[in-house]
């Protein structure tokens, strides 16, 4: 499939010349690797909405149920592979020194594709954090033998190292993401519903700072009115085309 890059093509030479690029990715990028999205029709788990499980209150009320949900999600992530969009973004990072990748995704597929320093706004499902002493450790690579798992250091319950609904984003990650949006010359909003705050505000922050905002998403989102151009197709279609256009320019 050929993608019409005319909206963004005038800015590609500027990116190669060092104009800063920032990219925000959401669940739509990982969906192309077979991972269910929270807000899509495939997001329901065992009759529960993920939004009702990914909260501190749900964890306090029924930690075993929450961990069963996250072990199911981890099995999906362990089986998933980066897709063409992940690979293209890693390639762009290697080509463009002034690129910052910001992601709402918690699956680490950007890292698996070769991206070196993604800003993980919502943390990582592939790490655990102690709810007592706060120590963060890699997930064990296999289901825990007992749920809920307990911290070996202090005995408190472990939880996934992710940001749940109702929690604040990590301060440094948000500050770095905001700085990248403010300093960007081009800002791509890729595969996100643009409704989960505060990440949804990054496109607006970039636009108000004078950045050229482009949306890559099969469906229009609230960011569309701010966009210089919109690509109504998948990220795995558009991003490799952008890479090829940069390589040939």
Question: Does the pLDDT value for residue 147 go beyond 60?
Answer: yes
Q: What is the mean pLDDT of the chain?
A: 93
Question: Does the pLDDT value for residue 247 go beyond 70?
Answer: yes
User: What's the rounded mean pLDDT across residues 16-34?
Assistant: 95
Beta strand pairing call for 123-130 and 99-103: unpaired
H helices of the chain, in order, are: 12-16, 27-31, 56-61, 63-79, 84-95, 109-113, 171-183, 202-208, 235-248
Common-topology check for domains 1-35+82-122+169-249 and 40-79+123-162: no
Tokens read off for 64: 């075993």
Question: Does the pLDDT value for residue 122 go beyond 70?
Answer: yes
119/37: higher pLDDT: 119
Please report the pLDDT score of residue 9 as a whole number: 94
Task: Give domain 1-35+82-122+169-249's CATH superfamily.
Answer: TPP-binding domain (3.40.50.1220)
Domain boundaries, the chain: 1-35+82-122+169-249, 40-79+123-162
Provide the pLDDT confidence category of residue 52 given band limits of 50, 70 and 90: confident
Question: Is residue 22 within 8 Å of residue 207, measured between CB atoms?
Answer: no
The Cα 101–Cα 115 span in angstroms is 8
Please report the pLDDT score of residue 196 as a whole number: 82
Please report the pLDDT score of residue 48 as a whole number: 66
Least confident among 49-63, 100-114, 143-157, 168-182? 49-63
Please report the pLDDT score of residue 135 as a whole number: 97
Exposed/middle/buried for residue 240 (C-beta within 10 Å: 0-12, 13-18, 19+): middle
Q: Which CATH class is domain 40-79+123-162?
A: alpha beta
Tell me which long-range contacts 238-243 makes (C-beta under 8 A, separation of at least 24). 238/3, 238/5, 239/84, 239/85, 239/88, 239/89, 239/92, 239/190, 240/84, 240/85, 240/87, 240/88, 241/2, 241/3, 241/5, 242/5, 242/8, 242/12, 242/88, 242/92, 243/88, 243/91, 243/92, 243/95
Please report the pLDDT score of residue 249 as a whole number: 79
Q: How much of the chain, in percent, has pLDDT values that exceed 70?
A: 95
Catalytic residue among 74, 86, 111, 122: 122
Least confident among 45-49, 58-62, 91-95? 45-49
Question: Does the pLDDT value for residue 42 go beyond 60?
Answer: no
Tokens read off for 163: 């940001």
Provide the pLDDT confidence category of residue 195 given band limits of 50, 70 and 90: confident
Provide the pLDDT confidence category of residue 40 given band limits of 50, 70 and 90: low
Q: Catalytic site residue 110? A: no
Question: Does the pLDDT value for residue 29 go beyond 60?
Answer: yes
Question: Which residues lie closer than 8 Å to 57 by C-beta, 6 or more apart?
Answer: 166
Least confident among 32-46, 156-170, 220-234? 32-46
Question: Is residue 140 within 8 Å of residue 129, measured between CB atoms?
Answer: no
């Amino acid at each position: 499939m050929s993608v019409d890059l005319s909206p963004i093509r005038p800015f590609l030479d500027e990116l190669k010349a060092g104009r800063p690029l920032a990219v925000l990715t959401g669940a739509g990028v990982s969906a192309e690797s077979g991972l269910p999205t929270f807000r899509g029709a495939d997001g329901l788990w065992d009759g529960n909405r993920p939004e009702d499980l990914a909260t501190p209150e749900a964890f306090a009320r029924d930690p075993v149920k929450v961990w069963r949900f996250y072990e199911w999600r981890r099995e999906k992530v362990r089986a998933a592979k980066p897709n063409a969009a992940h690979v293209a973004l890693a390639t762009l990072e290697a080509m463009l020194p002034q690129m910052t990748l910001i992601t709402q995704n918690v699956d680490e597929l950007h890292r698996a594709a070769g991206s070196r320093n993604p800003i993980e706004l919502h943390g990582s499902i592939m790490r655990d954090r102690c709810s007592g002493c706060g120590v963060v450790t890699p997930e064990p690579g296999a289901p825990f033998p007992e749920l809920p798992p307990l911290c070996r250091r202090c005995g408190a319950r472990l939880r996934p190292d992710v940001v749940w609904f109702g929690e604040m984003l990590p301060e440094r990650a948000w500050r770095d993401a905001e700085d990248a949006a403010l300093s960007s010359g081009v800002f791509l909003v890729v595969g996100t519903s643009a409704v989960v705050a505060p990440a949804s505000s990054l496109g607006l922050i970039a636009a108000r700072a004078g950045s050229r905002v482009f949306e890559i998403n099969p469906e229009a989102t609230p960011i569309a009115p701010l966009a210089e151009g919109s690509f109504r197709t998948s990220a795995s279609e558009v991003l490799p085309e952008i890479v090829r256009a940069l390589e040939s320019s």
